[in-house]
């Protein structure tokens, strides 16, 4: 076994939250592809997510998106999750699918619209109280398309005021997690475009406000692991939305486009004390438009586990010594040795030793679950995207 037992102990602490919206029909602005067997309601989304955890042991919680996952009784949904061996996690707000928000939501110049957006977040906090969720995740579509369209400075001030009203309502153990994204759907300016803006806004709120880093939300070539390092150093990295991108907000399977980038990111998480640390939540934010959804999520969490194992293999003492002596090639070699280590066989053996399938992808395929949902479920719902 290449992986030391201390590393396996660390790996057993890994928890990756799944997005409920990964299981519904999704697509692009060109086409939403319907798939057989997709969930018809939030309960079925949770059942599907539970399959990922059952086969991998890696995904013990599911994030909700309101209003996509609105149900008459959240305690029923919570019970359903627990009966299926998972928990309800982060609650994501949605201020991007309402005509009122065409020119902005919490940054809008009209106090009525701002209040509507604030009230939506307060409703999300009420839901969190019922689901037992800790995190309210806010991604805003707010921004402008044309220079002069609105006053960027006033929008920052209104953003602060609105977030303050939301923050005030948080319970003692709840958090406001502010996600940034450099463009889209606004193209000239975005009100929370980068980690610096998110950091400035959450710092002004207080200790219970932190930043969410979505790996797909940066300009090409951005050194994302540097941002990870800096946010951890500042104590403000609250969570990750993992996914892969080739061009834009692609939301493809994490580790698919650039496994080395994922490795480098996790390396900085480990270095900064953010691994197996409840204050830094690992989540997926993905859609499976052309591939099947449950196995798409299984592949995703396995990719994260694999790169985590490799990152944990870096010989930190040797690396520190090489860095201190200015041995550039030795230092780089230590990192690359870990990255090039094939851990898949070890992980399969280790999974089996813990009562999990050695190969979760084929175990899921053989389980009959996919065939069953494809037969039983008629008229599945859309994830909410790409309509
Ligand atoms: C929109 O860019 C987005 O993909 C954000 O990443 C959010 O986290 C996600 O939608 C769900 O609201
Ligand atoms: Mn995201
Ligand atoms: Mn996104």
Query: Residues 6 or more apart from 356 whose CB is under 8 A from it?
Result: 55, 56, 57
Average pLDDT over residues 16-24: 98
For 326-373, write each residue's pLDDT tens digit: 999 999 999 999 999 999 999 999 999 999 999 999 999 999 999 999
For the chain, the C-alpha Rg in angstroms (whole number) is 21
Arithmetic mean of pLDDT over the chain: 97
Worst-scoring range by mean pLDDT, 31-35, 352-356, 381-385? 381-385
What's the CA-to-centroid distance between 212 and ligand 3, angstroms? 11
Please tell us whether the domain made up of 15-313+356-376 is placed in CATH 3.20.20.150.
yes
What's the CA-to-centroid distance between 367 and ligand 1, angstroms? 31
pLDDT of residue 1: 77
For residues 375 and 357, give the distance between their C-alpha atoms in angstroms, rounded to a whole number.
25
pLDDT of residue 300: 98
Judged against a pLDDT cut of 80, whether residue 385 lies above it is answered with no
For residues 240 and 275, give the distance between their C-alpha atoms in angstroms, rounded to a whole number.
12
**Whole-number percent of the chain with pLDDT over 90:** 97
Instruction: Compute φ and ψ for 339, nearest 5 degrees.
Output: -65, -35
pLDDT of residue 387: 38
In ligand 1, which atom is closest to the CA atom of 214? 6
For residues 243 and 257, give the distance between their C-alpha atoms in angstroms, rounded to a whole number.
9
Mutational pocket test of ligand 1: of 139, 250, 382, the residue with most ligand atoms within 8 Å of the beta carbon: 139
What is the distance in angstroms between the CA of the first residue and the CA of the last residue of the chain? Answer: 48
Hey, is 353 helix, strand or coil?
Answer: helix
Show me where the domains of the chain are located: 15-313+356-376
Q: Residue 252: name the closest of 297, 186, 306 by CA.
A: 297
What's the CA-to-centroid distance between 216 and ligand 3, angstroms? 6
Judged against a pLDDT cut of 80, whether residue 104 lies above it is answered with yes
For residues 312 and 4, give the distance between their C-alpha atoms in angstroms, rounded to a whole number.
10
For 231-258, write each residue's pLDDT tens digit: 999 999 999 999 999 999 999 999 999 9
Question: Would you tell me how many other CB atoms lie within 10 Å of the CB of residue 207?
Answer: 10
Average pLDDT over residues 167-175: 98
Query: Residues 6 or more apart from 268 whose CB is under 8 A from it?
Result: 225, 226, 228, 229, 232
CA-proximal residue: ligand 1, atom 1 (nearest)? 139
The encoded tokens of residue 298 equal 């299984």
CA-proximal residue: ligand 1, atom 5 (nearest)? 139
CA-proximal residue: ligand 1, atom 2 (nearest)? 249
Q: Spell out which residues line ligand 1, taking CB within 6 angstroms.
A: 92, 139, 179, 181, 214, 241, 249, 285
For residues 199 and 192, give the distance between their C-alpha atoms in angstroms, rounded to a whole number.
10
Average pLDDT over residues 258-275: 98
CA-proximal residue: ligand 1, atom 3 (nearest)? 139
Q: Which residues surround ligand 3, an ion (CB under 5 A)?
A: 249
Judged against a pLDDT cut of 80, whether residue 384 lies above it is answered with no
Q: What is the pTM for the complete model shown?
A: 0.97
Residue 219: C-alpha distances to residues 152, 200, 245 (Å): 21, 20, 10
Q: Residue 71: name the closest of 44, 105, 98, 34 by CA.
A: 44
Average pLDDT over residues 124-143: 98
pLDDT of residue 290: 96
For residues 53 and 356, give the distance between their C-alpha atoms in angstroms, rounded to a whole number.
10
What's the CA-to-centroid distance between 349 and ligand 2, angstroms? 33
H-helix or E-strand containing 136?
strand 135-138
């Amino acid at each position: 076994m290449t992986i030391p037992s201390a590393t396996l102990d660390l790996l057993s602490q890994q928890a990756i939250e799944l997005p409920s919206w990964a299981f519904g029909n999704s697509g692009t602005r060109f086409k939403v592809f319907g798939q057989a067997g997709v969930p018809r309601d939030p309960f079925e989304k949770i059942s599907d997510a539970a399959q990922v955890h059952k086969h991998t042991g890696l995904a013990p919680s599911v994030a909700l998106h309101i209003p996509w996952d609105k149900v008459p009784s959240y305690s029923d949904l919570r019970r359903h999750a627990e009966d299926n061996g998972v928990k309800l996690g982060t609650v994501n707000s949605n201020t991007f699918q309402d005509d009122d928000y065409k020119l902005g939501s919490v940054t809008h110049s009209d106090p009525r619209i701002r209040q509507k957006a604030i009230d939506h977040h307060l409703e999300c906090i009420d839901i969190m109280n019922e689901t037992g969720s800790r995190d309210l995740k806010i991604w805003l579509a707010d921004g402008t398309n044309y220079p002069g369209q609105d006053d960027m400075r006033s929008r920052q001030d209104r953003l602060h005021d609105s977030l303050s009203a939301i923050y005030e309502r948080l319970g003692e153990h709840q958090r406001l997690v502010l996600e940034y994204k450099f463009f889209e759907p606004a193209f000239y300016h975005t009100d929370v475009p980068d980690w610096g803006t998110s950091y400035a806004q959450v710092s002004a709120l207080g200790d219970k406000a932190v930043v969410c880093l979505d790996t797909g939300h940066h300009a090409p070539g951005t050194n994302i692991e540097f941002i990870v390092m800096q946010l951890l150093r500042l104590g403000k990295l609250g969570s990750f939305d993992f996914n892969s991108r080739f061009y834009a907000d692609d939301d493809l399977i994490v580790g698919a486009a650039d496994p080395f980038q994922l490795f480098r990111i996790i390396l900085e998480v480990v270095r900064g004390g953010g691994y197996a640390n409840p204050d830094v939540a690992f989540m997926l934010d993905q859609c499976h438009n052309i591939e099947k959804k449950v196995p798409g999520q299984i592949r995703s969490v396995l990719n994260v586990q694999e790169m985590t194992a490799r990152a944990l293999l870096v010989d930190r003492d040797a690396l520190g010594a090489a860095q201190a002596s200015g041995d550039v090639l030795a230092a780089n070699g230590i990192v690359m040795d870990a990255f090039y280590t094939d851990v898949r066989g070890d992980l399969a053996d280790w999974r089996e030793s813990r009562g999990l399938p050695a190969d979760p992808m084929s175990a899921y395929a053989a389980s009959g679950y996919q065939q069953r949902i494809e037969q039983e479920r008629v008229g599945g719902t859309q994830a909410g995207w790409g309509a």
